[in-house]
Structure 1
C-alpha cells in the first residue's frame, strides 16, 4: 500500500534498537559478528541456505462466493463455501478467520487507541460530545449463519476482528474441511471513514464507485513459524493470507462495470456486443483500446438501471480476491507478453471521467511496464490479468489494485499529480509480486512487502523515465529520517503496529538499504542474482526475514550479517567523517644504519613449567613416546634438552644487522615525484559502511576508490588509509555520489589549500637481499655450531 505520511503522527512510541552486541564497550567485535541465534534455528522446514526445506508445508483454502451489492442501501450481502486443506503435520481443533470490516465498527474493532490531546484547531465534524458507553455505528460484519457442508451449525466465537470456528472433531494431516458462512455488512464511505474498501460518492452525478476489499471472511495463515497468525487487524498491519482457488459471482446493478481478481468467465452475458468486440480487439492490441468508452460512461451515469447482472470471475493460486463496481467506469486494455515465460497478460484500467485525461494516457501502459520490469528483477509474471483502478487511494490485491490520479475539471494536471499517479500505479501493481506471490506475513513484517516492493518500484520508475523524481530508493532521500533523534526511531525489524514513522521505516529505509546493497556493496550482478533467487525460492510460499537474509548471502557469497545487523536491527545512522589528511614526501638521502648486536646461544628449549598432562603421560606406563623409541630422530637437540650435550651458553657473540642500502640514483628517478597521503576517518554515526573517495589532482584529473567496509572490522570507530600518488592532490571528497546515506556531509571534504600542515618526510631505502627464510637464524650462531656438531 502506498501511504501518505503527513508530518508527525499523533502518537509516540519509544522503541530501542535491539542490543545485539557481542562485545559491549569494545571498539571491535560487535558490528561484524554473525547474527547467530538472533535468527531462528534452521530446520526441515526452512534451511540455513534460506530456501524451503524438504519438509516445508503450507495450508490451502478454496473459496466459492456469491455476493449481492445493494446500491440503494449501500449494503453487501454474501455467502461463501470454504474448503480448507490441512497440509500441516498438526491436528487442528479450530480454525481462525479474519473479519476485517469489524475495524470500521465502533464496538467490534481491534481497540488499538492512540494518545490524544486538546486541539489548537479542529473542524466542526470532529466537535462531537464523547459518548460513554460508545454507541454502535452500524458498521462491521453481521454473521447470519456458519455451518458445515451438511448444513449443521458450527460453534464460533468472534474476538474483535478475528473469528474462531470450533471444529466438531480434529482436522488431521491430509484432511480437508468444508464449511459455509453467510454474512452482510453496511458499506462504509471510505473517503470519510478511511480504510481500504468501501464506496466513494460523486454527488454531482449521483453515483458511487465501489472498491470491495477485505469484504469476505478470510482464512488466517497457519504456519510452521507462527502457528495461527491471528493478530488483530488495526487498520495498519496488513494481511497474512492463504493461497487457493476462487470462484466468485457478483450480482450488481445491470449498468455497472465490474473488474476483479482473475478472469471474467461471462463477458458474453454482461457486455454489449460492441463492448465485447472491443474487448476481443484489445486482446491482441499493443496500444490500449477503450472497451467502455468515455461517452458510454457519461451516458451510464445519467441512467440508474433497476435491473441486475451477475458477473462471474475465477482465479487460481491467489491469496485474496478484490473487486470494483460502478457505472462511472471507462475501461481500456491491451495485451502484454512477458518475455521470460511468454505469458500473454491482459493489462487493463478502470476509471471515471474525472481521471480520463491521465488514466487514458498512462495507466494501462504503466501497468504493462510494471509487470514486465518486475518480471526482469524477480520472477516472470504468472497471472493472466493485471489491472489498475482509479479510486482516489492506493491499495493492492492479486491482479487488481486501486490508485489515485485525477485531472482538474478542465483536463489539465500538475506534474506532481502525474508523477504521483505513475508512482502509485507502479507501486500497487508491483505488489502482485510482493506479497501476492512472494507471500510474506504483512501483519508482522511490513517491510517484507512494502520495503522490497518499494525497492523494485524504484528500479521500475528508473526504467520508465531516467528523470523520474523517485523519493524512495536513492540513498540521499533517507538522510532526513536517519538524522532524527533515537527516541523517534525504531529498527526495521519492528512490528508494524509499534512504528511511529511508518512510511520511512517500512517503505523507505528497507528500499534504500537494498539499493545501497545493489549499487555500493554487492554490485548489480551479484545482487540481482541473489534477489531473483529469493523471489524464485519463495514464490507462492510464505517467507520470513531470515529466509531473505540467508538467501541473499547464500546466492552471492557475500557475508552481509554486518549490514542486516546495522541497517535492519539497529537505528544508528551513517556518518563517516574525513578527519585529517597527513602529507609526507620520500627522503632518499638518508643512509641506512647497521647495528651490532651481542647475544648468547639459545639454552635448551623446554617448557618453563611441567604441566599436569606431561607428568601424567610419563606416569602412564601404556604410553610410549615416539622420540624415545626411534634412535634416528634422537638428534643433537634431543640430547641437548636432556643435558647430554654441553654448550657454553654464557659466551657472548656479536652479529651486525641491517638489510637496507641507499637507493640508486637511477631508481630514484622513477619515484621521486611520489607523495604519500594518510587519510584518517572516524565513524561518528555508528553504522559502518564502505568508504568511497573521489580524488581531484592539481592537473584537473580525478580518481576514485571504494574501500571495503571490512576496514572497520578491527576498530569500528577509527580507520586510516594511505595512498601514494605521483601527482599532487588538490582535494578529497568522501561519498561523492551520496550513495551511503551519510547524514552529515559537512565533514566529507578536504582541500590542500585549506590545510595548514607542513608535509613531513619518510625515509626510503632499498633491500639488499630477500628476508631470511622462515626458521633460519639470521646469521646468529646456533647451539649445534657452538658445540661443533652436525
Structure 2
C-alpha cells in the first residue's frame, strides 16, 4: 500500500488506529473540513482516485478439492485437500501463506495474544489450569500429516502459530499456477465450552451432537496490491481475509446425518430417501417452506443413531470459503425465491433441531428469502443458487450458509425478545453473503468494513420486515450511550480489530449508524442509495479497502464527505450541539425533577419502539414500501396480533419496579425563555462535542403550528466551535427543539431545547430513566412470564 506519508503506512500495517492528521490542530477552523488527502493512500493503476478498481487491478485465485471424514465417536475431523493457486499478480512468489485457524483452539499452537489478568475472587479448577506452567498441550489444533506437490513429493513448510508458510520448490512466476496437497486432522472442540465459531454442541437429553464445521481446512491467505500477504495471526476476534475460487467437497458422515453446506449438493439422490428427495423437488418450486426432512423423521433419527455412513458431495463456484453443518437432529425445510434484479432462482433453506422448531419452522426460511431480496435492492443482485440458515445457538456467516440462534421454551412458547433477536441474527448473518462474502473486504484488518456495512443493510432489511421492528443498531439515538463515554475508553472506527476495547459498538453500531445518518440526514436517500449501490457493484468479488468506499461514495454522489469520514471514522469526537442562547430576552425557567416512583406493571404491554426514529416515519410515508409481515399471514404470529391490539391477555397480576431517585438538573441543563413580544430571533449554538453536523430545528409557534429547518453542516466551516443563525417570523415562537427526531446522535439532549415560557418542558431525567427500564423489562429476562404464556397460546 502506498501512502503520501510513509509513517502512516507503518502505523496501519502494525495494527494501530489510522491517524486523524490535521494541518492546524490549534485553530477553531480549517480542521473539521480538511480534505483526507494526507490520510488516504495515493491512487494508482490498481485503485483509482474515484474509488473504482484501476485498469490494472488484479487478485489471486485458489481452487480446492477436499475430502473430509467426520468421526462422531472420536469427535475428530480428518481431511485431505488439493489446492490449485493462481498467481495473477505481477510479482514472482517464493512462498505461499495459509491459515490454520483451528490452532486458535490449541493451548500451545494459538496466536498467543495474552490479556492482562488479576487474582480472581473465585475460580474453578479448569480456570486455574490455564495458568499452569509449563503449558500442557490440550490436544486441539491442526495436526498436519503431510504436505506434498501434485506428484506426491514433500514440500518444506513452517507453521507459525495460526499461519503456515509453504516454501515453493521454485519461484511461482506471474501468470503461473501451482498445485499442492495437504492432509490433516484435528479434534473437534465442544463449542459451547471452549467457545469459537466451529465445533460441536452436545444435547444430553437425546445424546446427539450438532456440528458446525467452520475454518476447518487449511485456507489460502490473501496476497494483494495494498498489503502483500495478509498473514496476521488469528486471535479469535478479527475474522478472515480470503481468496475467491471454486470448491469441490466430499463429506463422509454417519448415514443418518443431514448436511447443509456452501454451494449445491450434487448427489441428493444418493443420500436422501425417496420421500425426502421428492419433497426437495417440491420445495424447488414452492413459494412456502416445505419440510424436506420432517420433525418426525428427525426425532426418529435421534433415537436410532445409524452406524452406517454416507458421502455428501458439494460444489461451489466463485466463493471465498466453504462451511457446513451436520447432525441427525436436523429438520430441513426450503422454498424457491426469485431475485427480481437478475431473475436468479435461489433455494432458501433452514436446518434446525426440535428445540427451535416452533420459531424456525415459521420464520427462518422466510427471513432468509426476505434478506437476500432486500439486500439485492440496496447492493447487487444475489448471485448464488442457495442461501441457508442453520440454528446452532450462535451467529456466524459463510458463503451461502450461516449459523444462528433461536430456541423456544420447552412448552413451545417464546418471548418477543427471543423472536426478534432470532430474526435480527438471521438477517444479519444471511446479509453477510454480501459483506464480506461478495464485497470481499479484509476482516482481519478492518472489522467495520464487513460488520458495520452489513449491520447498516441489516437495519434497512429489518425496517422492511416490520415497521415496528425494534432495531438496536442503525437509528442515531441508539449509539448515544457509546458516544458519550470518556475519550480514553474509545477508539476511532479506523482501528485494527485486535485493538478495539468495545468491539460491538465500534465495529458494528457506530459505522452502521454513521451510514444511516448519511442516508437520512446528510445526503438523502436518493443520492446515498445510488452511491452505496455503486460501491457494491464496483467491488463485488473484489477486495475493497476503506479508501475505496470513501471515494466511491463521494464520486457517485457529488457530495464532499471528507468532513464526515474524518469526524465519524477517524476520531472519537461525539456530536453535542447546544442551543447556547436565544436573543433578545433571557427569562430563565427551571425544570423540577420528579421524585422516585414505584411503578406498578403487569405482563409486558404490546411492543412500542423506544423512539419513533426518522427511518420508520419515512418508510411508512413511502407508498412503494410494503412491509413483509403485513403481506404474509403465516408470519403474523401472536406478537404481531398482540402489538396491534388483536390479542388480549389476563394481565391482572401486578409487579412493582422501583425507579432510581432522579438527580437534580444542573444549571447547564436548564433551558431559557425570551420576551414574548420579539419575533426576530438570533439562536447561538456551541459545538461542545467536537463532531460537526447539520443543525436541525423544529419551531413550535404560539398558535400551535410547527416549522422545520435543516442548516447545512457547512455553517461550521469558518468557526468549528460557535455559530449563530437569525430567523424572522410573523408570529411568536413558543419553543425551539434541536434535532427533534434524534437524527445526529447528539449525546446531550438537555441543551437541545428552548421555550418562551415554562409551559412546555423538556423530558426530565426520570422520564428517560423510565423509558430505559421499560426497554430492559422487554428484554426477555429469564424467569418472567412471557405474554404468549400468559395468553395460553403458542402461535
2:252 aligned with 1:251: yes
Indicate yes or no: 2:730 matched with 1:726. yes
Tell me by how many angstroms 1:542 deviates. 0.2
Hey, what does 1:445 align to over in structure 2?
A: 446
The aligned counterpart of 2:745 is 741
- For the 8 Å contact 2:20–2:39, the answer to whether it is kept is no
| Maintained 8 Å contact 1:733/1:750 | yes
Alignment correspondent of 1:532? 533
Name the CA distance, whole Å, in 2 between partners of 1:559 and 1:710.
10
Aligned partners of 2:701, 2:686: CA distance in 1, in Å? Answer: 24
Tell me by how many angstroms 1:552 deviates.
Answer: 0.2
Asked if the contact 1:237/1:442 (under 8 Å) is kept, the reply is yes
Residues 197-276 of structure 1 correspond to what in structure 2 (within 5 A)?
197-276=198-277
Deviation at 1:304, TM superposition (A): 1.2
Structure 1 equivalent of residue 293 of structure 2: 292
Q: Does 1:712 align with 2:716?
A: yes
8 Å contact 1:17–1:571 — kept in the other structure?
no
SS in 1 for 2:346: strand
Partner SS for 1:753: coil
- Deviation at residue 123 of structure 1 after TM alignment: 4.6
Q: Can you list the C-alpha shifts for 1:426-448, whole angstroms capped at 9, x where unaligned?
A: 00000000000000000000000
Alpha-carbon separation, structure 2, partners of 1:92 and 1:507 = 36
Q: Does 1:417 align with 2:418?
A: yes
- In the other structure, the counterpart of 2:88 is 87
Contact 2:579 2:754 in 1 (8 A): yes
* Unmatched runs of 5 consecutive residues or more in structure 1: 1-13, 585-672, 756-790
Matches within 5 A, 1:503-542: 503-542=504-543
Shift of 1:18: 3.2
CA RMSD, 1 decimal: 1.3
User: Which residue of the partner structure matches residue 193 of structure 2?
Assistant: 192
Which residue matches 2:317?
Answer: 316
The residue number in structure 1 matching 2:608 is: none
Q: Which residue of 2 aligns with 1:614?
A: none
- Cα deviation, 1:746-786, whole Å, max 9, x if unaligned, reads 0001111259xxxxxxxxxxxxxxxxxxxxxxxxxxxxxxx
Q: How does 1:86-485 map to 2 (within 5 A)?
A: 86-123=87-124, 125-128=126-129, 130-485=131-486
Distance 1:73 1:336 in 2: 39
What is the SS of the residue equivalent to 2:403? strand
Quick check: 1:110–1:160 contact (8 Å CA) kept in 2? Answer: yes
Distance 1:19 1:286 in 2: 51
Structure-2 residue corresponding to 1:644: none
Q: Tell me how far apart the structure 2 counterparts of residues 109 and 394 of structure 1 sit (CA, whole Å).
A: 22
Deviation, structure 1 residue 118? 1.9
Show the counterpart of 1:492.
493
The answer to whether residue 756 in structure 2 is matched with residue 752 in structure 1 is yes
Deviation at 1:126, TM superposition (A): 2.5
Instruction: Give the 3-state SS of the residue equivalent to 2:757 in structure 1.
Output: helix
Question: In 2, Cα distance between the equivalents of 1:236 and 1:412?
Answer: 34
1:674 deviation in Å?
A: 8.6
Deviation at 1:124, TM superposition (A): 5.4
Give the distance between the partners of 1:522 and 1:123, measured in 2 at CA: 54
Larger Rg: 1
Question: In 1, Cα distance between the equivalents of 2:163 and 2:549?
Answer: 29
Deviation at 1:675, TM superposition (A): 2.4
Where does 1:542-621 land on structure 2 (aligned, <5 Å)?
Answer: 542-583=543-584
d(CA) in 1 for partners of 2:16 and 2:222?
27
CA distance in 1, matches of 2:392, 2:418: 14
* Paired position in structure 1 for 2:680: 676
Q: Secondary structure of 1:387's match?
A: strand
CA shift, 1:47, in A, is 0.1
Long gaps (5+) in structure 2: 1-14, 586-676, 760-795
The DSSP-based 3-state class of the residue aligned with 1:36 is: coil
Contact map agreement 1:407 1:413 (CA 8 A) in 2: yes
User: In structure 2, do the counterparts of structure 1 residues 129 and 340 end up closer, same or farther at CA, with 3 Å as the change threshold?
Assistant: closer
TM-score for both structures, normalised by structure 2: 0.81
SS in 1 for 2:536: helix
Post-superposition shift, 1:130? 3.1
Q: Tell me, in whole angstroms, the C-alpha distance in 1 between the residues paired with 2:512 and 2:681.
A: 36
Q: Does 1:67 align with 2:68?
A: yes
SS at match of 1:356: helix
**Separation in 2, partners of 1:73, 1:128:** 24
Q: Distance in 1 between matches of 2:485 and 2:122?
A: 27
Tell me the residue number matched to 2:613. none
What's the offset of the Cα at 1:23? 1.0
Q: State how many pairs are aligned.
A: 654
Quick one: distance in 2 between partners of 1:477 and 1:246? 41
Q: Distance in 2 between matches of 1:17 and 1:751?
A: 43
In the TM superposition, what whole-angstrom CA distance separates every residue of 1:87-118 from its partner, at most 9, and x where no partner exists? 00000000000000000000000000111112
Q: Which ranges of 4 or more aligned residues in structure 1 deviate by more than 6 Å?
A: 14-17
Contact 1:79–1:181 (CA under 8 A) maintained in structure 2? yes
Confirm or deny: 8 A CA contact 2:477 2:742 kept in the other structure: yes
TM-score, normalising length from structure 1?
A: 0.82
Counterparts of 2:21 and 2:360, CA distance in 1: 49
